[in-house]
Amino acid sequence: MNKIDSVRKEMMAALKADYLPRLAEKRPGVSVTIMGEAEDTATTGASLSRNMVIGLIGVYLILSFQFRSFVQPVVVIAAIPLGVVGVVWGHMALGLQISLPSLVGLATLAGVVVNDSILLVAFMKERFAEGADLLEAAQNAVRDRFRAIFLTSLTTVVGLGPLLFEQSTQAQFLRPIVASLAFGLTGATLLALFVTPAMFAVLHDLRLVRREPPEE
């Protein structure tokens, strides 16, 4: 299936780059409309991008209410690009191409990978509010919440394992989606343990994070 997709993409690229421009020169009155699978892919891609932006805005607003800040949610949302690293490496390891189903998996992943960062940020803010130094609060957050974060992500990845390594024809369409979820979640989980505390410290250095009294 990957070879067929590659040949199809090469033919479509050659058609747009070579044949269609020459046809427009010879027949100015002729218009060409690309339909079929290419049209469906473009429509789905545009819809996916629009819905993903709406989802990110929704996540940002929810986190803004949770953290009572319009800046701190950026620390949590930064975990989403970290998932892209895992998605790329996962597709390379399995010999898969980045396709539209892969992007569907990435869009689904966006709402999952933020959970680990939410735990870390909430724990850091709690310890920081209690009077601990920010560096100490970050270290305690990673140490105390590591088991919960690791086990939560591990159970999800293990649950996706049977479908990820399924070789049947029926499962080939779902493998890119599952690969994006499994490897993206793994990459984001590991990188968030380092990046999330670092970004929180950067906001503190920029005086965008203040010590708040602990909630009673």
Break the chain into its structural domains and give their ranges: 69-205
CA 166, CA 161: separation in Å to the nearest integer? 8
Q: Is the pTM of this model over 0.75?
A: no
The pair of structure tokens assigned to 109 is 């992943």
Q: What is the pLDDT of residues 70-118, one digit of tens each?
A: 888 888 888 888 888 999 999 888 888 888 888 888 888 887 888 888 8
Angstrom distance (rounded) from CA 142 to CA 119: 10
Summarised one tens digit per residue, pLDDT across range 35-66 is 655 555 666 667 777 888 888 888 889 888 88
Residue 147 has pLDDT above 80, yes or no: yes
Nearest Cα neighbor of 128 from 77, 72, 80, 76 is 72
3-state SS class at 78:
coil
Query: pLDDT category, 1, cuts 50, 70, 90?
Result: very low
Q: What is the dihedral of CA 92, 96, 101, 107, to 10 degrees?
A: -10
Half-sphere exposure of 157 (CA within 13 A, CB side): 20
CATH code given to domain 69-205: 1.20.1640.10
DSSP 163-188: HHT--SGGGTTTHHHHHHHHHHHHHH
Per-residue pLDDT of 3-44, as tens digits, reads 555 666 666 666 667 777 777 777 777 776 666 555 556 666
- The DSSP annotation for 196-212 comes to HHHHHHHHHHTT-----
